[in-house]
Amino acid sequence: MSRPRTEAEYLARLVPPSVAGIGRRRLLAGAAGAGALLGTGALAGCGSDSGSDSGSDSKTVSLGSNQSDPNPKAVIAKVMDGFKTSTGIEAAINTVDHNTYQENINNYLQGKPDDVFMWFAGYRMRFFAARGLAGDLTETWGKLSGYSDAFKKASTGDDGKQYFVPTSYYPWAMFYRKSVWQQRGYQVPKTLDELNALGAQMKKDGLNPIAFADKDGWPAMGTFDVLNLRINGYQFHVDLMAGKEAWTSDKVKKIFDTWRGLLPLHQPDSLGRTWQEAAQSLQQKKSGMYLLGLFVAQQFGNDEQDDIDFFTFPEIDPAIGAKALDAPIDGYMMARKPKSEANARRLLEFVGSKEAANITVKNDPSTLVANSGADTSGYTALQKKAAELVGSATEIAQFLDRDTRPDFASTVIIPAFQQFIKNPNDIDGLVNSIENQKKSIFSS
Amino acid sequence: MSDLPLIQADRAVPSRAATTTFTGGGRRRRLRLLSRTDRVVITLMVLVPLLIVVGLVWLPALATVALSGTSWDGIGPLSEIEWVGGRNYSDVIHNYPPFVPAIQNNLLWLAALFVVATPLGMFLAVLLDKEIRGSRFYQTALYLPVVLSLALIGFVWQLIYSRDQGLLNAVLGTSTDWYGDPDVNIWAVLVAAGWRHVGYIMLLYLAGLKGVDPSLREAASVDGATETSTFFRVVFPVMRPINIIVLVVTVIESLRAFDLVWVINKGRNGLELISALVTSNVVGEASRIGFGSALATIMLAISLIFITAYLAVVMREDRR
């Protein structure tokens, strides 16, 4: 036995060879192996997950749905059941939470989207069409019937082809409770002055005249839109949203100025409130009216549905009138390269048909169907009135964030409107800031 | 006992004799000393973490810096990306109203955690270290918020802070708009964030206190030191490594603050934070990838200041 040359060697000798030789290294190798196994296992899991039921078999088609709330989700399932009984093709519905769907739409469409996916009419639809992320549906439109020209126009891309099949829509209007108004003897205002007078009366009666919430940023867009449509008209709305008009113009300043005049009638502290809470203040008879979409009815009980009524936002400029409104349209689009184009087109024909619309009417009281051929005798009184309102509209806008670039709407407009609500007096500074940011965004 | 080498690594360093005797063959001999398995394992141990760090940290970071000079919208091939130079940065500073509040809020967040929440957590740890009755219960109660995700905390506090239906206004009989008033909401959120941070720091510090040698305290009390001076003169200096960890955790927490404000109002209206601005520009439907990357690069630069300072301290420590 030789003498150890170093301290380390000496200490090492105290360890039995079996441990020193095998222990660490084998153990590590084993761990690495196990890790590799786990790794591949996990990866394989991912792979099979996304690869399933993508068979190009002629009897299936996949559908990406953003209708994640229980009620609309059940309606979509029923429509797809109807599709199966009528064509024998099975639609695999891939439902994603509404907000997540919207935020991931870019990645979704550039990856492997479902054959058919749900989306909205408006700027974004045309943008996807222009960037080649959506399939041309001109041929399918040839087989559809029962759509007015307004809907066809809303489904048309910048190149004049159709890329969208509209199925449902809902108008924005001033909602109120009939019982409250009857009790207090309020009359529907026809002009801005009458609205102001009504608001003053409501304040005297201890109500918030206009319920208001803007914590999430988008509800205030509805107010801006309707003021713009009343003060400057539909064409200016379209041009402003397309970035063609300057936000520093007097026309835009007049919108903010009118809004500032109305703000005292709005429920205070709106920036901390969700639209649901504002709707509940209407439901609890604490607020007199509320400018929102038809979906406000969701916050009312079943026995209260008949008590809801609405009027369109009153006229401001007699030369412009009060016939234009926001009525966002929801519908379906086709992926650029569907796995089974024939099935995708048959699905789109079906969702655009009377039959599908009838199924929706029967099951969903919160939207209106786009197909005029549908049997709408099942509508509630509220739905009937809403359909009449939209039918009599001269122009239909989609909604601010559907009519303009999403980056502009979410990163410029939302903070700007919230800033305005906080401090309505610095309109010049506000519109300058919006215009500068708009120039930078629209030029890129 | 045989002459079999027991530690391979020891012999992996070629002795002077070996290199001189086997001229030209020294390299081969050295390789033979490390067995095949050794070499594979060492290579794997170096390569795998290296690949992970480069692939998941450095490449994305560099890509962010590169993208911050473009106007990419996230759609289309990389070849179509348009280079805009420093325009995004000048837009961030001159033409993006939420940016300045975001910087202020991040600094405020850091200050609040550092000045209030962290000392409070340390104080609670010292109290709990006294083995008072029911200390297990307090420990669990205080640590509970840390287990909850910040997103969930945002929701819990929403129930408390809601203006019309919240607990706080109902109890106080006020109608303060806790989440909506831009002068108030940052403080309301800091309370919620601090509530969680206190528990985290408490647990870290408590673990450290348990490791302090009791004989130090005995010696101090024999010398007639008071509780306070024992803590500040004896225990606190001994806890230096833990103190540094607590400091680093506080800085990290305030830089990565995000979930809470995102859940509340997506980091708008008084709750701007740089991380929330990055997310709303890059991740959402907006897809201002270039502009968002510029914000992210600024955030990276700010983080680097703290990282550099931390590394400088730690390395000085090692050299000592």
- pLDDT tens by residue, B32-77: 677 888 889 999 999 999 999 999 999 999 999 999 998 888 777 7
Rounded (5°) CA angle A400-A402-A403: 65
What was the pLDDT predicted at A22? 41
Q: What is the pLDDT of residue B29?
A: 53
Indicate whether this complex's ipTM tops 0.95. no
Helix H segments across A322-380? Answer: 341-351, 354-363
Identify from B44, B80, B265, B279 which residue to disrupt to test chain A contact, counting A C-beta atoms within 10 A and taking the largest count. B265
Quick check: A32 contacting B, CB < 8 Å? yes
Q: What is the pLDDT of residue B287?
A: 81
- State residue A8's pLDDT score: 54
Judging contacts by C-beta atoms under 8 Å, the chain B residues touching residue A284 are: none
Whether the CB-CB separation of A79 and A351 falls below 8 Å is answered with yes
Q: Is A215 on the interface with B (CB under 8 A)?
A: yes
Tell me, yes or no, if B311 comes closer than 8 A to chain A by beta carbon. no
| Min Cα separation B181/chain A (Å) | 7
What domains appear along chain A, each with residue ranges and CATH number? 60-169+329-387 (3.40.190.10), 172-326+405-442 (3.40.190.10)
A217/B45 touch (CB, cutoff 8 Å), yes or no: no
Weakly modelled stretches of chain B, pLDDT under 50: 1-26
What are the tokens at B230? Answer: 């024992």
Angstroms from B190 CA to nearest CA on chain A:
16
With residue A59 as reference, give the H or E element that holds it. none
What domains sit in chain B, N to C, each tagged with a CATH number?
1-34 (no CATH), 98-287 (1.10.3720.10)
Q: What is the pLDDT of residue A359?
A: 92
Contact at 8 Å (CB) between A320 and A89?
Answer: no
Q: Do A12 and B76 touch (CB under 8 A)?
A: no
Predicted pLDDT at B4: 47
Report the distance separating Cα B56 and Cα A418, nearest Å: 37
Asked if the Cβ–Cβ distance from B163 to A215 is below 8 Å, we say no
**Cβ–Cβ contact B286 with A under 8 A:** yes
Give the nearest partner residue to A272 out of B76, B96, B163, using CB atoms: B163
Closest-CA distance of chain A to residue B3, Å: 7
Single pTM value for the model: 0.78
CA A31 to chain centroid, in Å, comes to 49
* Range list of H helices, chain B: 8-12, 16-21, 26-33, 36-53, 59-67, 87-94, 99-112, 118-128, 135-147, 150-161, 167-172, 185-210, 214-222, 227-230, 236-238, 240-255, 259-265, 274-282, 289-319
Is residue A415 within 8 angstroms of chain B, CB to CB? Answer: yes
Unique residue bearing structure tokens 């500040």: B232
Cα-atom radius of gyration of chain A, to the nearest Å?
Answer: 29
**C-beta neighbour count of A398 within 10 angstroms:** 24
User: What's the pLDDT at B28?
Assistant: 53
Which region holds residue B131: left if phi is over 0, alpha if psi is between -120 and 50, else beta? left
pLDDT at residue A7, rounded to an integer: 54
**What is the distance between the alpha carbons of residues A134 and A136, in angstroms, rounded to a whole number?**
7
Gap from A410 CA to chain B (nearest CA, Å): 7
A422 close contact with B: CB closer than 8 A: yes
Whether residues A110 and B269 touch (CB distance < 8 A) is answered with: no
Residues of B in contact with A103 (CB under 8 A): 283-285
Please write the tens of the pLDDT for every residue from A106-127: 888 888 899 999 999 988 899 8
Which residue matches tokens 């739905």?
Answer: A383
> With an 8 Å Cβ cutoff, are B6 and A17 in contact?
yes
Backbone φ and ψ of B246, nearest 5°: -60, -40
CA nearest A278 in B: which residue? B164
**β-pair partners for A335:** A134
Full pLDDT tens readout for chain A, 444 residues? 445 555 555 544 554 444 444 444 444 444 444 444 333 333 333 333 333 344 445 789 999 999 888 888 899 999 999 999 999 999 999 999 887 888 888 888 888 899 999 999 988 899 889 888 999 999 999 999 888 888 888 899 989 999 999 999 999 999 999 999 999 999 999 999 999 999 999 999 999 999 999 988 899 999 999 999 999 999 999 999 989 999 999 999 999 999 999 999 999 989 988 898 999 999 999 999 999 999 898 888 888 989 999 999 999 999 999 989 999 999 999 999 899 899 999 999 999 999 999 999 888 877 899 998 888 888 888 999 999 998 888 888 999 989 998 889 989 999 999 999 999 999 999 999 999 999 988 886
